[in-house]
Structures are given as C-alpha cells and as structure tokens.
Amino acid sequence: MSTATPKINQIESQHILEGEGWYPLSWNKKEISQLPAYPDTEELQRSFNELKSLPPLITSWEIEALKEKLADVAEGNAFLLQGGDCAETFDACTSVKLVNMLKVMLQMSFILIHEMGTPVIRLGRIAGQYAKPRSQDFEVVDGVKMLNYRGDLINSIEASVDTRTPDPARLLEAYEKAALSLNFLRALSDEGFADLQHPEQWELDFMQNNEYYKDYEQMVSSINKAIKFMDTITPNRINTSHKVDLYTSHEALNLFYDSAQTRRVPRKQGWFNLSAHLVWLGNRTQQIDGAHIEYLKGIQNPIGIKVGPPFDLENLLRLLDTINPNHEAGKIVLITRMGHDNVKKHLPTFIRAIKQHGHPVVWSCDPMHGNTYATGSNVKTRKFNDILQEIRETFEVHRSEASYLGGVHLELTGDNVTECVGGANGLNEDGLASNYETYCDPRLNYEQSLEMAFLVAKEWNKSYR
C-alpha cells in the first residue's frame, strides 16, 4: 500500500499549519491510506486552490435538516434508503442515467413508505461518489505494471502508466460533474417529478415470475390511487416540505476533494463539508491515527461508518468517541457490511456494545460489500439471495436485541444492467455478459432494486409493525 501523503504546504498560512488544532487540511500531516501520491504537486496546489474558491454544492441548512431526520431514524420513527452506483463515472453524467437513478430511488421509497407506513429519507450515492478504495495498488496489463484504477476523481480506467497517474485536474472535473448532476436532480425534484411519480409507468412485468406478484400488483394499484388522490387535492405535494428530495452522499476518500469544499458558514459554529450532505468512512480507512479520522472529526455533517471485517469493536468505539464525542443524535450512521455468513456471529456483540456505550446511532445494513464473488470466468458479481439473506439476518438480530434497524445501503442503478445474479427475472451467470457496465462493484438493476424494496419492507414489517 502506498502511503506517501501528498503534501500541500502553502495553502493555509504557516502558523495554522504548524498549530495543533483542527482545520480542513490538518489531515495532511497524518498518514493517509488509499490515496496514491500526486506526482505534480504544483498542479495539485492550483486545482486545490481553485476548488476551494468555487461556490458550494449544497448548504449547511440542508445538512442540519438531514441530521434532524437521521435523529428520527435513530429513534425508530423513520427509515433511511441509501443507494446508488458503486463508482459514479464522469461519462455517466447524462440526462438518461440521472433520470433513471432518481426514478428507481423514488419508486423504491414509495414502496417502502406504502408498505411500512413510515417516512423514508432518500440518500443517493450520487453527485460525488467518484473515488474508490482498492485492495491492490498496482496491476499488470499486457506485461506493463501500472497503478490500479481508483475512480474518476483520481485517475482514468484506461490502462496505461500515464492515464493511471493521479491527475489533479480531476478534482475540478469531479466538482463540475457533481454540480451538473445536482443541478438536474434539483430541477427534476422541483418541476419534472410528475412523470416519475406515476406507478402506471412502473415496469413490473418481470415480477410475474415471482411468488409475490399478486401482492406487488395490488400495492402498485394502491400507490397509484394514493398519488392520484394527493395530486388532486394538493399538486406537487411531494416536494413542498423541503426542496431536497434526494440527499447526496459519497465516501470521504480523496480528502483533497472534501477538504477544499469544507467551509465555515456565517452565524454558524464549526465547519461544513459542502460537497455532500453525508459522507462516509470506508471499511479500509479506519486507522484511528490516520488522515481520514482526523478530517472527519472536524466536520458538522452526519457521517456514515462502515462496519465489517476485521470486526474490530474496540477501534469502532474509539472512532465513535473521536468523531461524535458529544453523542449528538443523527450524527452517526453505522453501516454494517458483514457478509451473509457473518451477521449472526458478529452483529449481536456490536449492538450490545454500542448500546452500553450510549451512542445514539442509526443502524443501516449494506448487504452488498460482504457478498461479492468472482464467477468461474472471473466476473465480479453478487447473488440476489445472499444480499437478501444478509438483510433478513440483520433484521432478525436487531429484532432479538430490541434494536432498530433503520436503513439499507444498496449499490443499484435505474438501468437494465446485468451485474448481480438472481431475483425474479432469474438472471444467471451466463447472462452477466449481456449488459455488464460497472467500473467497480456489481449493482442491482432496476427490476432487482424494486423487488428488493418489496422484500425489505416485508422484513421490516416482521420486526417493527
């Protein structure tokens, strides 16, 4: 693992750099994992300075509103649906892909709201999810050793030594693509949602092969009636309460990107990362003395923390004490990603310890990242049933510990890709090649995502109705 930290020396005034306190770049004095060095430090400096001066993507009051809603989730009074691409790419910043993503997130949330009768917070892995951790720094392509692809925020997927070199100009391109995405998502939320809201446009034929088809059909017809009724009495009701229908999130991985957009806000205490409403700490960057923790402990945003192998409970408790020393409600979302075989073995201990420690967390289940495997022909995939099993067992464990599982975290797309096997459509390993698009992990497609939403609602109802 290359841990050489690219240093920026002249951005903050020297007395701050030498000080002990927290500031947006204080992480730069620590060891940083999962970020290869930028060879061109002058260019890095220029890009960083420019990014720092550009207007923010989101606002502090949206961040505060999300935190309040997450506090409701922690209390058991709402549910969090977090979903989107594993790795967004710059090329996929298109009208069709964004509409499809919004559509699937919206339809899934309607299913959850309707079936569970509880408010649902939509949180996209969107408008900034451009950087990826990798288990290997290098790969060899046609005999040439080069850095691994780490997401469009850092380098290019194109395989050459040159295109894999970390490029600071990508910090600015990521900002631009995030801004364009967000602009369109906000416009759709304000004006163009009507089309997306109508369940008669749902593509549900695939469900005919599923044992629950009758339930689905009835539910869609009932959602349809409810929406028509609300449309009639109060048009545009869905977005009257808050302008943001879809909050944004990404992994806080490339800290140059996040810290350049971390700002003070007039008349408010503290610093806000104004590039996303929530950022999360990945499973590979949890070193307590490392750069990522140093950065995250200083921002006001709600923070997700992945919880998975190597199941280091002591480290997690230290992280919580460091990032949320005042036990603020709505601040922390613990996203467990254990793998379907590990849930029963590890989750009860974690739930008990966090409870005993008195941390008011939101519990969410990421059933994707512990269930990835490679097929015989070396295609990365996940089984729908493994994903479902992790969700089921996570609900079961929370139920038996009298704890509230308040969310799911899914890698999904609104497109008809063929990346995960199983689901009502019966996609098998031979079918994966027909439309396999992801640059990183396999995602649930439109149909698998809707089906998963029905099944999540069923599990939630067993536990909390």
Closest CB to ligand PEP belongs to which residue? Answer: 282
Q: Which of 69, 292, 337, 382 binds ligand PEP (CB under 6 A)?
A: 337
Burial of residue 439 (number of CB atoms within 10 Å: 0-12, 13-18, 19+): middle
Q: Which of 107, 283, 445, 448 binds ligand PEP (CB under 6 A)?
A: 283
Q: Tell me the three state secondary structure of residue 416.
A: coil
337 makes contact, choosing from ligand PEP, Co ion, none, with CB < 5 to 8 Å by partner type, with ligand PEP
168 makes contact, choosing from ligand PEP, Co ion, none, with CB < 5 to 8 Å by partner type, with none
For β-strands 372-374 and 380-382, DSSP reports them as: antiparallel
List the interface residues with ligand PEP, window 33-62 (CB under 6 A).
none
d(C-alpha 393, C-alpha 407), whole Å: 14
User: What residues contact residue 80 under an 8 Å CB cut-off, 6+ apart?
Assistant: 70, 73, 120, 121, 123, 333, 362, 364, 406, 407, 408
445 makes contact, choosing from ligand PEP, Co ion, none, with CB < 5 to 8 Å by partner type, with none
Q: Tell me the three state secondary structure of residue 461.
A: helix
Identify any residues that bridge with 263 across adjacent strands, giving them in sequence order. Answer: 272
Terminal-to-terminal C-alpha distance of the chain: 47
Q: Is 441 in the site for Co ion (CB under 5 A)?
A: yes
Number of residues that bind Co ion (CB under 5 A): 2
- Of the pair 36, 282, the CB lying nearest ligand PEP is at 282
d(C-alpha 183, C-alpha 456), whole Å: 30
Count other Cβ atoms within 10 Å, centred on residue 98.
Answer: 21
198 makes contact, choosing from Co ion, ligand PEP, none, with CB < 5 to 8 Å by partner type, with none
Q: Which part of the chain contacts ligand PEP (CB under 6 A), choosing from 34-42, 60-68, 281-289, 392-400?
A: 281-289
Distance in Å, CB of 117 to Co ion, minimum: 31
Q: What are the φ/ψ torsions at residue 28 (nearest 5 degrees)? A: -70, -10
Distance in Å, CB of 343 to ligand PEP, minimum: 15
Residue with tokens 């467990």: 336
- Of the pair 239, 372, the CB lying nearest ligand PEP is at 372
Q: Which of 58, 66, 86, 281 binds Co ion (CB under 5 A)?
A: 86
Q: Is 390 in the site for Co ion (CB under 5 A)?
A: no
Report which of 290, 295, 377, 391 is spatially closest to residue 336, judged by C-alpha positions.
Answer: 391
Q: Which part of the chain contacts ligand PEP (CB under 6 A), choosing from 136-144, 279-287, 375-383, 446-454?
A: 279-287
Count other Cβ atoms within 10 Å, centred on residue 75.
Answer: 14
Q: Which of 97, 122, 250, 369 binds ligand PEP (CB under 6 A)?
A: 369
Identify any residues that bridge with 412 across adjacent strands, giving them in sequence order. Answer: 444
Q: Where are the alpha helices (DSSP H) in 121-168?
A: none
Q: Which of 6, 124, 282, 298 binds ligand PEP (CB under 6 A)?
A: 282
Quick check: 294 and 27 in contact, CB under 8 A?
A: yes
Q: Which part of the chain contacts ligand PEP (CB under 6 A), choosing from 146-154, 257-265, 278-286, 427-435?
A: 278-286
Q: What are the φ/ψ torsions at residue 176 (nearest 5 degrees)? A: -65, -45
d(C-alpha 86, C-alpha 369), whole Å: 10
283 makes contact, choosing from Co ion, ligand PEP, none, with CB < 5 to 8 Å by partner type, with ligand PEP
Q: Which of 114, 122, 164, 306 binds ligand PEP (CB under 6 A)?
A: 306
Q: Which of 133, 290, 348, 360 binds ligand PEP (CB under 6 A)?
A: 133
Distance in Å, CB of 177 to ligand PEP, minimum: 18
Q: Is 69 in the site for ligand PEP (CB under 6 A)?
A: no
Position 229: which residue type? Answer: F
Q: What residues make contact with ligand PEP under the rule CB under 6 A?
A: 86, 133, 282-284, 306, 308, 337, 369
